[in-house]
């Protein structure tokens, strides 16, 4: 080597370029639903708070923190990569770690907005059932059948969902389909 030049490991440079490419890519994660519903999510957050209060006194309270974080923050979501034109329906474990497989958007016909109704039932200590219903609008990728739909994001109003669908369609180069009647 002349003049104080150093040899550069090409595999290390390749890894760094991959890491920079991964961090700079146009990816967005949209959380759709909680894994244990609103009641389980609330109970998990309470367990995390109690665990943090008890950890200085009992080290086994860290189990409460782990269980609470799992039930309180886990859920389903969808990650969208607009650069590579693909989506990944995923489970968000502890709200941080994503598990799922990538699907190319070429398999889909277009983007549609659908109304989704969810209902949850929670029992109290006196064995009384409390029903909670929730309506929202989902932006979905259509592939022909309702079973092959991929939910991408949700909105509280139809107008907001339509604007998000048009923006996503422009980014992915797809069409917004007419809503089914």
pLDDT at 13: 45
Give the pLDDT band (50/70/90) at residue 47.
Answer: very high
Q: How far apart are CA 66 and CA 99, in angstroms?
A: 19
Query: At residue 61, does pLDDT exceed 70?
Result: yes
**Residue boundaries of the structural domains of the chain:** 27-172
pLDDT tens-digit series, residues 99-116: 888 888 888 888 888 888
The pLDDT tens digits for 1-29 are 444 444 444 444 444 444 454 555 577 77
Q: What pLDDT band is residue 180 in, cutting at 50, 70 and 90?
A: low
pLDDT of residue 18: 46
Q: Which residues contact 81 (CB under 8 A, 6 or more apart)?
A: 25, 26, 27, 87, 88, 102
Which residue did the predictor score with more confidence, 134 or 50?
A: 50
Instruction: Name the pTM for this structure.
Output: 0.70
Distance CA 54, CA 64 (A): 9
Per-residue pLDDT, 16: 44
User: In the predicted model, what is the mean pLDDT of the chain?
Assistant: 79
**Percent of the chain scoring above 70 in pLDDT:** 84
The string of pLDDT tens digits covering residues 80-89 is: 888 888 888 8
Q: 151 and 32 in contact (C-beta within 8 Å)?
A: yes
pLDDT grade for 34, boundaries at 50, 70 and 90: confident
Angle at 28 between CA 25 and CA 30, to 5 degrees: 165
């Amino acid at each position: 080597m002349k003049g104080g030049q150093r040899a550069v490991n090409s595999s290390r440079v390749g890894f760094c370029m991959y890491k920079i490419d991964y961090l700079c890519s146009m990816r967005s994660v949209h959380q759709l639903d909680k894994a244990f519903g609103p009641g389980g999510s609330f109970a998990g957050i309470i367990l995390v708070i109690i665990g943090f209060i008890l950890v200085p006194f009992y080290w086994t309270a860290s189990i409460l923190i782990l269980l609470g974080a799992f039930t309180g923050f886990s859920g389903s979501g969808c990650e969208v990569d607009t650069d590579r034109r693909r989506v990944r329906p995923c489970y968000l474990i502890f709200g941080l770690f994503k598990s799922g497989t990538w699907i190319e958007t070429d398999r889909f016909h277009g983007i549609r907005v659908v109304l989704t109704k969810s209902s949850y039932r929670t029992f109290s200590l006196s064995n009384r059932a409390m029903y909670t219903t929730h309506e929202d609008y989902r932006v979905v990728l259509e592939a022909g059948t309702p079973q092959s739909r991929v939910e991408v994001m949700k909105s509280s109003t139809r107008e907001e969902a339509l604007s998000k669908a048009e923006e996503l369609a422009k980014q992915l180069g797809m069409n917004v389909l007419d809503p089914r009647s």
